[in-house]
Structure 1
Amino acid sequence: MRAARPGEAGVTLVEMIVVLVIIAIVAGMIVGSGILNRPDQARVTTANADLHTISAALKLYRLDNGDYPTTAQGLKALAERPETPPLAPNWNPEGYLPEVPVDPWGHPYVYQSPAPGGFALTSLGKDGKPGGEGLDADIVGRK
């Protein structure tokens, strides 16, 4: 191993500044491109997929029992046999979903059975409140 000559040892201040500028440019590109928003976009995609899955489970429930669960019975009727009328005479012993679902933000999905033969299913978005814009906007799935 040879000893370093004067001027060869270590990193110069100019080299360090160049590296820091490159890091700052890359960080700016990441923040500016919206890569950090990907988890929120993934939650919206997951909520849409959940709405399709829950809708399919509701349709199977209707095929077996003649109608959708009432609003009072809610989505719980897909995971546990309803104990309030109208009872589900042909309820699948394995259930239609393994558990009562919640949206990707941890809020319950809003289920309404407004008329015979139909239902409304909604995720209230990131804020968990009706309405909103952007990530707070409701995500609606209907039959």
Structure 2
Amino acid sequence: MRERVWKIAAGVVLALAIVALLLSIARLLWGRSCTTHARVRAEVAWMGSKILAYRCDTGVFPESLQALTRDDLPLGPYAKQAQLSDSWGRPFYYQVSEPQQRFAFYSLGYDGLPGGKDQDADIVYEGSLAPLPSQEWLERGQPVQAVDCSAYKLTQAEVSELTRLNAEWKRAEAARASAADASGSCRRGTGHKEPAQQASGPAK
């Protein structure tokens, strides 16, 4: 009887060990892409909101995603260069139609190809159009779609204050960069003598 109990217990332990091993393998095979896919969905949502913020602040959509990185705008930059690509390392896709006041913004998913299902499905910003050929995209949808800027609407005083704070931050960043360059120059120059000045006149 005791031997039978031990055999059953050993069988249960072995079964649990096999299940744990299978779960570990599944996490190794699919865990990374699932995590990345969720992260890209968050990136698409965040970047889409920055495109709308740019539109509401300036009155026009950015002509390209690169425009979001400009620091000469009162409330810019809206994004960093590294944020123009998804977590798979591929650039986001962006199209804009100013006359129709709409845009398309999306990532092509895990496989990097249009369409697909599950992890390979395109990740499209809510409210923008799914990836289509350019001409078909321009012809689809209503002629004019209003952009809701209520979430980004600021009073003139708030705009002035944000502009001032942004300008101060940029000046501080420039000062830190300048100080770092100067410090690097000093370190590079340590232990080196200035070359002797060459005589400009004829030797006497």
Question: TM-score, with normalisation over the residues of structure 2?
Answer: 0.48
Question: TM-score, with normalisation over the residues of structure 1?
Answer: 0.65
- What is the aligned-residue RMSD (CA, Å)? 2.8
- String of CA shifts for 1:46-94, please: whole Å, max 9, x gaps: 1111111111111121122111013xxx21110126xxxxxxxx82364
Question: Where does structure 2 lack aligned partners over 5 or more consecutive residues?
Answer: 1-9, 129-204
Extract structure 1 runs of 4+ deviating beyond 3 A.
Answer: 17-25
2:53 is the alignment partner of 1:60: yes
Larger radius of gyration: 2
Aligned pairs (5 A) from 1:85-104: 91-92=73-74, 94-99=76-81, 100-104=83-87
Give the Cα separation in 1 of the matches to 2:19 and 2:55.
56
2:43 is the alignment partner of 1:50: yes
Shift of 1:21: 6.9
2:59 is the alignment partner of 1:77: no
Q: What residue is the counterpart of 2:150 in the other structure?
A: none
Structure (1 or 2) with the greater helix fraction = 2
Aligned pairs (5 A) from 1:1-143: 23-28=17-22, 30=23, 34-36=26-28, 37-70=30-63, 74-80=64-70, 91-92=73-74, 94-99=76-81, 100-116=83-99, 117-141=101-125, 142-143=127-128
Give the Cα separation in 1 of the matches to 2:35 and 2:65.
23
Paired residues, number: 115
The aligned amino acid for 1:118 is: R
The structure showing larger relative contact order (alpha-carbon pairs under 8 Å, at least 6 residues apart) is 1
Give the Cα separation in 2 of the matches to 1:41 and 1:107.
17
Give the Cα separation in 1 of the matches to 2:16 and 2:75.
61
Give the Cα separation in 2 of the matches to 1:69 and 1:94.
12
Q: Is the 8 A contact 1:64 1:91 kept in 2?
A: no
Question: Where does structure 1 lack aligned partners over 5 or more consecutive residues?
Answer: 1-16, 82-89
